[in-house]
Each structure stands twice: as C-alpha cells, then as structure tokens.
Amino acid sequence: MRKIVVTGPNGQLGKAVLKEYKNDADAELISISHREMPIEDLDAVLNKTAELDPDVIINCAGYTDVDGCEKNTHLAGRINGIGPRNLAIAAQKTGAKLVHISTDYVFDGCGDRPYVESDAPGPVSAYGRSKLVGEKYVESLCQKYFIIRTAWLYGDGENFVRSMLRLSESHDQVSVVDDQIGCPTSAAEVAKLIHYLEQTEQYGLYHGVCRGETSWADFAERIFSIKGIKAKVNHISSEEYVKMNPDSANRPHYSVLEDQMLSLIAPEDGGFQMATWQEAIKNYLKK
C-alpha cells in the first residue's frame, strides 16, 4: 500500500485529490494541514515527513491569490517558493515521490501558440515569479518529482465559476475580460492526472489542463448557458478591467498550455487524456 501525504487538503485541489483517491484500496492518504506542518518551516517539514515516511507527497498547498501576491510578496515567496524547496528536500531524504502543482502564470503570455513544457518561462506577476521559484527548487533538489502546471482552476471552493454564478443572482449584466485566453481546468481532472502520474516513474515537468482554449468572457457565457442564466456578459479589455480594479496584478494575455510531455509518455492504449474544458465545466455544473 502506498502512503500518500497531501498538503493543502482544504483547498480546491486538495479536496479533489482526497475525493479521487477515495476508492483506491492501495493508497493510504494522510491529510496534513498548515497548522500541523507549515511547509515554509524546514524543520517542521523534515520532522513530520520523517515521522510519516510517505511514499508520495502531493503538494496542493499554495498562496494562489494573484492580486494578493503583489501586496504580500514575502508571503508568496515563503509559501510558493520556500515551501516547495522544503518539501523537495524532505522527499529526497525519505525517498518519496513529490507531486508539485504550478501554474500557467509562469509564462508572460506574449506568444501566439500554446506553451509546451520546454518553452522558456517569463512571469509578469509576483504570483508567477514565486511559483517559478518553487519549480526551480523542486527540479534541483529532488530526483523523483512531478511538476504539474495547471490553469484557471475551479473546484470545491471560491473560484471564477462560483463568482459568476453569485454575480448573476444580483446583476443582469457582468463585465468580463475577453483578451485573456487560457484553459479553464477542473480540479477533478487534475486530481485524476495526479493519480495517474504518481503511479509511474515518468518524472519531470508536465502541463495538466483541460483541452481547448477560451477567454474569460466566453467561459462566463458558457457557464450561464449551461445553467440557463439570462444575465448578459459584457466583453471588456484587460485595460478596462485594470481601470476598474487598479490594484490588480498583471496577467498573461495568452497562457494556453499544451500537454506535450503527457502525450509523449502515454502508452499505446492511449494513456491519460484530460477532458475538454467544455466537458469538464458541464460535468462540474451538473453535480
């Protein structure tokens, strides 16, 4: 039986991971809260992992408030950079596999084609920079690692989808940017990918997003359409959004990810393929 430690179990992805493994009789999942093991504290991480001696560490912990990271760069660096460093050191010491979650925001979004894993990153926000630091630490300090970059995540918690549904209850119209293009991704789909990868030895960097691409505005329209909501989506530019929200962080305009590495390791039977973003949001909203 695999002993699997999950950090950040109360977040969207952490909850999805716990649910995904519910029927895996060969996995013993141990949820570790920040109070039990603050990942930015190396001694705490080393002591706890030595005590538990896990086979796999799944790091779902992170400071994901993109705008908040601009105001709290030190905290972002501690949670998103130093935290993964400490987990990588611990994984290397115990021999555990480490699954670490990163983001499409490590890219600047200035390209015109989907980013593959070998493309050079260039984050334009404090959040993206802190996540890239975490990636580099994991790559350099741990041999058995899976870094999964995902994007526009939604699941059981506060997210864009729930914000749109909440706004539609009190507004006939909502304004959403239409010049940021990415891959809306269900936390449940990422959890499936984690479950698949951690049972392999195909270590490395992966892009794990729902297939296809869309804008935030078109995504909002799809959400309303599925739910039969009549609210209108006003398409606005990022420049207009910043004027309305002057403290917002820079975000990439085109951060579509392509899962090139996943397709390369897939066996002849088809391996693992994530759902399209259209399928995933439909499944999410019908639950």
The catalytic residue positions are: 127
pLDDT of residue 99: 99
pLDDT of residue 269: 57
Residue-wise pLDDT for 74-129, tens only, equals 999 999 999 999 999 999 999 999 999 999 999 999 999 999 999 999 999 999 99
In the chain, where the domains are located: 2-159+184-211+256-276
CA nearest neighbour of 214 among 92, 79, 114: 114
Q: Which residue carries 């995902």 as its tokens?
A: 150
- Return the bridge partners of 7, or none: 32, 59
Residue-wise pLDDT for 47-72, tens only, equals 999 999 999 999 999 999 999 999 99
pLDDT bin (cut points 50, 70, 90) of residue 191 is: very high
153-to-34, 164, 190, 194, 237 alpha-carbon distances in Å? 21, 14, 9, 14, 21
Distance CA 223, CA 237 (A): 20
pLDDT of residue 264: 85
pLDDT at 181 over 90: yes
At the second CATH level, the architecture of 2-159+184-211+256-276 is 3-Layer(aba) Sandwich (3.40)
pLDDT at 283 over 60: yes
**Mean pLDDT of the chain, nearest integer:** 97
Positive or negative: CA dihedral 206, 209, 210, 214: negative
Selected residue with higher pLDDT from 21 and 265 = 21
